[in-house]
Structure 1
Amino acid sequence: MQLAAIVVSLVISVIGFGLLGRTAVYIYQFVKLGQSTAPGVRSNEPLERTRNLFREFLGHTRLARKGKRWIGAMHWVVMVGFGLLFFTLVTAYGQLFSADFAIPLIGRWWPFEFVTEVISFVMILAIAALIGIRLRNRPAGAGSKEKGKRSRFFGSTMWQAYFVEGVILGIGLCIMLLRGFEGALGGHLSYSAHYPVSYPLVHAFDGMSRGSLENWIYAIAAVKIVISMAWAITIGLNSTMSVAWHRFLAFPNIWFKKKADGGTALGALSPMASGGVPIDFEDPAEDARFGVGAVEDFTWKGLLDFSTCTECGRCQDQCPAWNTDKPLSPKLLMLALRDHSAAKAPYLFAGGGKDLEGNEKLAEEKWLSLPDMVRAEAERPLIGTAEENGVIDPDILWSCTTCGACVEQCPVDIEHVDHIVDMRRYQVMIESSFPSEAGTMLKNLEKAQNPWGMQPKKRTEWIQELDFEVPVFGETLEDISEVEYLYWVGCAGSLEDRAKKTTKAFAELLHIAGVKFAVLGGMESCTGDPARRLGNEFLFQMLGQGNVEMLNEVFGEDTPREKRKIVATCPHCFNSLANEYPQLGGEYDVIHHTQLLDTLVSEGKLTPVTPIDQNITYHDPCYLGRHNKVYTPPREIIAKVPGLKNTEMHRCKEKGFCCGAGGARMWMEERIGKRINVERVDEALSTNPDVISTACPYCLVMLGDSITARKQAGEVPESMEVVDVAQLLLTSVKPAPASSAEPAAANA
C-alpha cells in the first residue's frame, strides 16, 4: 500500500507541477503580448496599491456586500483555506513515507492544528453551500425554476466550476479523515485543542490496529495528493480556465488596477494611447493606433483582465442591457475576448499582429506553418456580425450604457467599460461604423457644440423666465472672482425643456440662499461626454480643449484650484469637469448641485418648511452614484423636506439600475428587447410613489418619457411626475400657496 501510494503520488505530482508551471509561464508571456501602458500608470504608489490588495483580499470588500454577505463570507473561508491548507498538502507528502509525519516546529503546535481543523471543517460547509447555490441558480434544470438568461451563471462553463468546487470539497474531507486517523494513531482519545473538530473521528477509529491506521493514512494522503494534482493537471491543460486561474491572477489584476487608492475603474476614462504613449491629436504619429481593432491592440492589462474573469456573473446580473434582453453580457464579452485571444495567441507569438498591416507583418512561411484553426482565428474581425464571423457582434458593443454596474460588481477589478469604449473608438474613428442616429448627434456637436444643434444664444433663454438677475460672464459680469461659484448649466440644462425646470429651481435656491454665482451662457460648449462615450475621442478632445482653454481664461491662469469652484446639475458634465478635464490641463474644484444644496440646508441657508405630503422614490443617476460615489446628499435633502416619504427601489445606490441614457445611448434608438427606461420605471412604480425623483437631466428625460407614455395609456395618474431633487427642495423652501393645501412639487 505504502509503495503504491508513493509511486502514484510522486508521478502525478511531477506531471501536475510541471503542467502548472509551464502554463503559468505561458500566461505571463501571453499577457506581455498586450500593448504597453503609460510609464508608472499601473505601478504608481506601490505601498498604497499593496495596502489595497490586502484590503480587498483579506476583507473581501468586493464580495462581502449587502445582500450577498453570506456568500462573501463563505467564499472568504474557501479562499483562506486554499492558501492556508497548502501546509496540509506538505504534510500529506510526508505521510507517504511516515504515517505519523508532522511539519517540523509547527506540525504538532496546537494553534496550528486547531486552525487547520476549524478552517477545514468550515470550508467543507462553505463549499457545500456554494455548490448548493450554484445548483439552485443554474440556468436550467430541475429545481432551478428555469431561470435561463436571468441566471448569473448563464454562459458560464459549469463543469469547470463544479470540478473546482468538487476538488475543494474532496480535499476538505481528506483532511478531516486524515486528522481522525492521525489522532487514533497517536492515541489522542481525550478532547483537546489539537483535535477540536475531528475528535469524534478519532474515537471512531480507535481500536484499529496500528498497521491498518498507517495504511489508511498512506491511502488517504495519496488520494488527497491525487485530487490536488488532478486540479493542477486540469488547469495546466486549460490556460483559459479562469474560474481556477483567478486564484493566482486576481492578485496582480487587483494590484495593477487603474486607481492606486483602490477605487473602481469608473469616473474618468483612460486617455487614448498608442503603444503606451498618449496620442497627440493635433499631430498624431503615423503608426498610432486609434482604439482597439484587434485583440492585440488591447493593453497587457486588458489581456490580464480577460484571463482573470471568474465567470461568477455578478456583472451580468446587474447589467441593464442584459436585464432588458439586449445581447450584451459583460461576462460573456470578457469570455469571448479571452477565448479569442487565447486561440489567436500562436499567431501573435509568431510575430503577427504587430502593426496595421496585420497578416502582412508575418512572413508567408510562418503564416502557412500555423495550424488552420489559428489562421482562421487570426483572420476573424474583432467586431462583426455572425455573417462576418466577428468575435463581438456590433449590437453587443452598442448596447452598453457605460453605467459601470459591471465594474462596480466585479470581485477581481476587471475594467469592462474602458475596454468597450476602446473598441468603440476604433469603430468610430477608423471604421466610421456606428448607429446611424448617433451621427446626427456628432454632427450637431461639431457644428453647434451641443447634441441638439441649437444656437448658442438659446443657452440663456431660461434666465428670462426668472424674476431675479443671473450674472452672465462676459455680458453682465467681467470678473469671476466676484462670485463664489461658476454654475455650469450644461446642454440639457440650457436647452431641454424638462431639464430647464431643474436649472431654474437650482438658480432660485442659490438666490434664496444668498450664494453668489454666475453662468457662462453662450460661452459654454458640450463637455464632450457623449462623444467620448460613443468613441469619438477626437471630438471629445476638440470640445474639451476648447472648454479648458476658456475656463482657464475665465478663472485666470494663476488662480489656484480651490478657488476655481464649479457647480453642475448634470452628473455627466460633473464627471467630465472633475475627472476628465485634468487630463487636458483643467484643474477645477467641482461639486454636484445636490452636494451644494445639502450643505446649504445643513448650514441653515435654506430651510424646508412647507410640507410635501407625497410618497417618492429616488433614482440614482449612474454618473453621480457609481461613477462618483455621491449617494448621500440627495437622500439627505429628501429626508429634510417635511412630509416626503422616500421608499428605496430594490436596485438602488451601488446596485442602482441605469435609465438607459449613458454611453451616448440617449441619442440612439433601442430596437432590441425591453426599453431600459421602461424597466426602471416599472421598478419605481412598484414602490407606489406619487413622484419619482432624480438628480440628472438625462434621467429626468428618460424616466419622464416612460411616464408620459404610461399617462397616455392611462396606466398612471396625470399627477405622476419625474422631478429633480432641487425642484422638491424649492417647493418646500417657498411658502405654501394660500389657496392650496398641497404644493405642486412637479411644477416648481
Structure 2
Amino acid sequence: MQLAAIIVSLVLTAVGVALISRAVAQIYRFVKIGQPVPAGSRTDNPKQRSITLAREFLGHTRMNRWGIVGFAHWFVAIGFLTLPPTLAQAYGQLFQADWTLPWIGDFLPFELYIEFIGVMTILGILVLITIRLLSLPSRAGRKSRFAGSKAWQAYFVEYVILTIGAAILTLRGLEGAIHHVEHYEAAYFLSYPLVVAFRGLSTETLQNLIYLTAMIKIGVSLIWMIVVSLNTNMGVAWHRFLGFPNIWFKRNADGATALGALQPMTSAGVPIDFEDPGEDDQFGVSQVEHFAWKGILDFSTCTECGRCQSQCPAWNTGKPLSPKLLIMSLRDHAHAKAPYLLAGGGKDAEGEEKATAEQLAGVPAAALAEAERPLIGTAEENGVIDPDVLWSCTTCGACVEQCPVDIEHIDHIVDMRRYQVMIESSFPSEAGTMLKNLEKKGNPWGLPKKQRLAWVKEVDFEVPVVGEDIEDLTEVEYLYWVGCAGSLEDRAKKTTKAFAELLNIAGVKFAIMGGEENCTGDSARRLGNEFLFQQLGAENVAMLNMAFGEDDEDESTKLPKSKKKIVATCPHCFNTIANEYPQLGGEYEVIHHTQLLQHLVDEGKLVPVTPVEGLITYHDPCYLGRHNKVYTPPREIIAKVPGLRNEEMHRHKERGFCCGAGGARMWMEERIGKRINNERVDEALSLNPDIVSTACPFCLVMLSDSVNGRKNEGKAKESLTVVDVSQLLLESVRTPAVADDADADSAPEPEPVK
C-alpha cells in the first residue's frame, strides 16, 4: 500500500507541477496579447490597491451581498488558501504514517485552526453544491443564474474540494488514533468522533489507511491541477488565482466599481487625439487582441457564477444578452485564438495577414480557423458576439455592480460598439436619426435651440439666462443644467418647471444657459460614437468655462471648482458633467436635483406641509443609483412629504431594475422579448401603488409610456400617476389655493368697527 501510494502520488506530482507551470506561463503570455493601458491607470496608489484587495477578499465584501452563499464561499476560499500545510503533511505521511510537520505540526493553535477550517470548508462546499443542485431544476432555463455555465467544470471543482476536505478530516481522525489519543483533547475537538472510530484498529491497518487517504488527498489535488492546466479557459477554477490580480488592477484603487465615467478611447495605451488622430490609431475593438490586457484578464477570471446574468435587464426580458455568456464567449474565443496570436498572427487595417507562412506553420488548424471568425457577427457569419447581443445592453451597470471579481463588462461592450459605429457604421438604424440630430441641432429630437427656452414662458417667476439676463455665473449660486429632455420633452418639462419653482420658493439664486446648452453627449458616447461625444463635450466645456468667468489669459479670474456649482435634473447629464467632462478639461461641482432638494428641506427652506395621499413606490434611475451611489436623497424627500406611504419594489437600490433607456436604448426600438419598461412597471403594479416616482427624465418617459399602455390593457388603475420626486415635493410645499378659499369662507365674520 505504501509503495503504491508513493509511486502514484509522485508521478501525479511530477506531471501536475510540469503542467501547471506551463499553464501559468501560457496565461501570462496570453494576457500580454492585450493592448497596453494608459501609464499608471492600473498601478497608481499600490498601497490603496493592496488594501482594497485585502478588504474584498478577507471581508468578501462583494460575495456577502448574497447572504449564505457569501458566508459559505468565504470558508471555501480561506480553506483553499490556508490548508496547503495539510498537503505537505500528507506527503510526509506517505513515507512515515505518524509523521507531523516540524515546529507547527503539534502546535495547538495550528491544530485547532486545521480542525475548524477543514470542517467549515466541507460544510461550505456542501452548501454551494446544494444551491447549485436546487437552482438548476427549480429555476429552469433563463431563470437560473447558472444557465449557460459549464456545469461539469463547476461540479468537478466542487466535488474535488469536498473530497479533499473529507480526506483532511479523515486524516485527522487517523492521526489521533495512531498517536494513541485515549481521551478527548482540544486538538481534535471536531475530529474526535473519528479518532474514537479508528482507535480499535491495529497499527498496521492505521498505517495503511493513512497511506491510502494521503494518496487520495494528494492524488485528487494533483488531478485537479492537471485538469485545470489542460483547460486554461476554466474560469471556475482559475478565478481563485486570477481573481487577486484582477481585483488589484481594477479601475479604481479605492475599490469603487468601474461605473460612472466611461474611459477615454485609447490606441496602444494612449488616448486618441480626435483633433489629430494618428494614421495607425485603432478605433474601438474589432479583434479580441484589441482589448486591453486588463480585458483579457477579465475574461479569464470569470467564474461563471451568473450573478451578472441574474440581474441583467436584457436577459430577464428574453433578449440574447447575458453579461456572463458574453464574457465567456470572449474568453473561449481568445484562448482558442491564442496560439495564432502568440505565433505573430494578426491582420492589419486592410485585412492582410501580418505573419509569414513560416511563422504560422506550427499553429493548430483550430486556432487558424478561430482567427478567421469575426468578433461581431451573426450565427450565419460565425461571429463570436451576435449584433443583437451587443445592442441589447442598456449600460445599467447591474453586471459590474454584482460581479465578485470586478469584471468591467460595460467598458468592453462600449469598446466593441465604438468600432461598429465609427469604422463599420453598423448600428440600429433608429439610432442614426439621433446621431444626425445631435450633429446638426445639438439635441436628440432635432428641435431648434430656441425651443430650449419655451418652458421659461410657462412659469410666473424670473429664470435668468446667462448672456441675456446676467453676464456670467458669478452672480448666482447654481447653474441649472436643464438638459435636452428637461427642455424639450413635455413630461420632463414638468419636472423642470417644478424644480425651478422649488428653487424660487427656497430663495436659491440660479440661472440657465438656455439655447447655449448642447446635449452632453451621453447617448452618443454609450452608443459608441466617441468622436461626436468629444465634439459636443468640448463645446459644452468651453461654454461652461466662459460662463463661470474663466479667462484663459488671466489665471486670477478662474473660479475654484467649489464655486462652479451645477445642478442637473437628468442623471445622465449629471454623470457626464461630473465624471466625464474632467477628461475634457471641465472641472465642476455637480449635484443632482434630489440632493439639493433634500438639503433645502433639511435647512427648512422648503417645508412640505400639504398631504399627498397614496401608496408610492420609487424607481432608482441606474445613472443616479448604481453609477453614482445616490440612493438616499429621493427617499428622504418622499419620507418628508406627509400622507405618502412608501413601499419598495423587490428590485431596488443596488439591485434596482433598469427602465430600458440607458446605453442609447432610449433611441432604439425594442423588438426582442418583453419590453424592459413593461417588466419594471409590472413589478411596480404588483404593489398596487397610487404613485410611481423616479428622478430621471428618461425613466419618467419610459415608465409613463408603460403605465399608459397597461391602463389601455386594463392592467393598471386609471388614477395611477408617474411623477418626478420634485413634483411631489412641490405639491406638498405649495399651499393649495382651494384650501385658502375654503378657509376664508369658513372664517367668522369680523365685528363691525364701532
Q: TM-score, normalised by structure 1?
A: 0.97
Distance in 1 (CA, whole Å) between partners of 2:407 and 2:740 is 54
Alignment of 1:616 onto 2:616: yes
- Give the aligned partner of residue 26 of structure 1: 26
Aligned mates of 2:195, 2:714 — CA distance in 1: 72
Contact 1:296 1:354 in 2 (8 A): no
Shift of 1:194: 0.4
Q: Does structure 1 residue 454 correspond to structure 2 residue 454?
A: no
Taking the aligned partners of 1:519 and 1:679, their CA distance within structure 2 comes to 36
How far apart, in 1, do the equivalents of 2:353 and 2:218 lie? 49
What CA distance in whole angstroms lies between the structure 2 residues aligned with 1:714 and 1:654? 31
Judged with a 3 Å threshold, the aligned counterparts in structure 2 of structure 1 residues 8 and 577 are, in CA distance, closer, same or farther, namely same
- Which of the residues 397, 415, 439 maps onto 1:404? 397
Deviations 1:350-381 (A, max 9, x none): 11226424442111333455332222111111
Contact 2:347 2:353 in 1 (8 A): no
Distance in structure 2 (CA, Å) of the matches to 1:409 and 1:379: 34
User: Structure 1 residue 219 and structure 2 residue 212: aligned?
Assistant: yes
Task: Give the corresponding residue for 2:342.
Answer: 349
For 1:287-333, what per-residue CA distance to the aligned partner results, in whole angstroms no more than 9, with x for missing partners?
Answer: 00000001010000000000000000000000000000000000000
Kindly state the Cα deviation for residue 737 of structure 1 after the two structures are TM-superposed: 4.4
Mapped to 2, the partners of 1:357 and 1:47 lie a distance apart of 44
Match in the other structure for 1:141: none
Please tell me whether the aligned partners of residues 267 and 282 of structure 2 are also in contact (alpha carbons under 8 angstroms): yes
Q: Secondary structure at the match of 1:566?
A: strand
Matched, 1:545 2:538: yes
What SS does the aligned partner of 2:147 have? coil
- After superposition, the Cα gap between the structure-2 partners of 1:190 and 1:741, relative to the gap in structure 1 and judged at 3 Å, is farther
Contact 2:474–2:549 (CA under 8 A) maintained in structure 1: no
| Matched AA of 1:115 | Y
Per-residue deviation at 1:184? 0.8
> Aligned match of 1:279 in 269, 272, 276?
272
Give the aligned partner of residue 633 of structure 1.
Answer: 633
Runs of 4+ in 1 over 4 A off after TM superposition: 739-742
Q: Does 2:261 match 1:268? A: yes
Q: 2:668: which partner in 1?
A: 668
Matches within 5 A, 1:302-451: 302-353=295-346, 355-367=348-360, 369-451=362-444
Partner of 1:616, secondary structure, is strand
1:254 alignment counterpart: 247
| Distance in 2, Cα, partners of 1:529 & 1:189 | 73
1:83 corresponds to which of 81, 84, 87: 81
Task: State the secondary structure of the residue aligned to 2:405.
Answer: coil
* Contact 1:352 1:359 survives alignment (8 Å): no
- Farther-moved stretch of structure 1 (357-366 vs 680-689): 357-366
Alpha-carbon distance in structure 2 between the residues aligned to 1:429 and 1:189: 77
Tell me whether 1:137 sits opposite 2:135 in the alignment.
Answer: yes
Look up the equivalent residue of 2:699 and give its one-letter code: C
**Contact 2:431–2:668 (CA under 8 A) maintained in structure 1:** yes
Distance in 2 separating the partners of 1:120 and 1:368: 50
Work out the CA distance in 1 between the residues paired with 2:213 and 2:534.
65
CA displacement at 1:150 relative to structure 2: 1.1
1:352/1:358 contact within 8 Å kept: no
Q: Distance in 1 between matches of 2:336 and 2:77?
A: 30
How many residue pairs match? The answer is 735
Structure 2 letter corresponding to 1:695 = A
| 1:688 Cα deviation from its structure 2 partner | 1.2
Partner of residue 231, structure 2: 238
Partner in structure 2 of residue 37 of structure 1: 37
CA contact under 8 A between 1:235 and 1:244: conserved in structure 2? yes
TM-score, normalised via structure 2 length: 0.96
Q: Deviation of residue 191 (structure 1)? A: 1.6
Partner of 1:199: 192
Question: Following TM superposition, by how much is the alpha carbon of 1:740 offset from its aligned partner in structure 2, in angstroms?
Answer: 10
SS in 1 for 2:738: coil
Distance 1:341 1:484 in 2: 52
Matched position secondary structure for 1:486 = strand
Structure 2 equivalent of residue 59 of structure 1: 59
1:575-620, Cα deviation, whole Å (9 max, x unpaired):
0000000000100000000000011111111111111111010000
Question: Does 1:719 pair with 2:719?
Answer: yes
Provide the secondary structure at the position in 2 that maps to 1:630.
coil
* 8 Å Cα contact 2:177/2:196 also seen in 1: yes
1:173 maps to 166
Q: CA deviation at 1:269?
A: 0.5
CA distance in 2, matches of 1:718, 1:490: 30
Aligned 8 A contact 1:567 1:590 in 2 = yes
Q: Separation in 1 of the partners of 2:737 and 2:721?
A: 20
**1:3 aligned to 2:15?**
no
Choose which of 121, 124, 129 in structure 1 pairs with 2:122. Answer: 124
Q: Secondary structure at the match of 1:487?
A: strand
Q: Look up the SS of the partner of 2:71 in the other structure.
A: helix
SS in 2 for 1:399: coil
- Give the whole-Å Cα distance in 2 for the aligned partners of 1:193 and 1:543: 70
**Greater mean alpha carbon deviation, residues 265-274 or residues 15-24:** 15-24
Choose the corresponding residue for 2:101, options 93, 100, 103: 103
1:594 and 1:726 in contact (8 A); partners too: yes
Q: Deviations over 1:681-731 (max 9, x none)?
A: 000111110010000000000000001112222322222111000000001
Q: How far 1:459 sits from its partner (Å)?
A: 0.4
Residue identity in the other structure for 1:736: P
For structure 2, the 5+ residue unaligned runs are 551-557, 743-754
Match of 2:50 in 1: 50
Match of 2:652 in 1: 652
Question: Which amino acid counterpart does residue 728 of structure 1 have in structure 2?
Answer: L
Listed as ranges, the matches of 1:462-473 within 5 Å are 462-473=455-466
**Which deviations, in whole Å up to 9, do the C-alpha atoms of 1:103-146 show, x marking residues without a partner?**
111111111111111111111111111101001111xxxxx135
- Kept in 2, the 8 Å contact 1:529–1:572? The answer is yes
Contact 1:624 / 1:631 at 8 angstroms: preserved in 2? yes
Q: Cα RMSD over matched residues? A: 1.3
Could you tell me how far apart the structure 2 residues matched to 1:8 and 1:399 are?
52
Q: 3-state SS of the aligned residue for 1:662?
A: coil
Q: Give the superposition deviation at 1:519.
A: 0.4
Equivalent position of 1:745 in the other structure:
none
Letter in 2 for 1:725: V
Which SS does the other structure have where 2:511 is aligned? strand
CA deviation digits over 1:371-427, x for unaligned, max 9?
322221111110011111111110000000000000000000000000000000000
Gaps of 5+ in 1: 139-143, 743-748
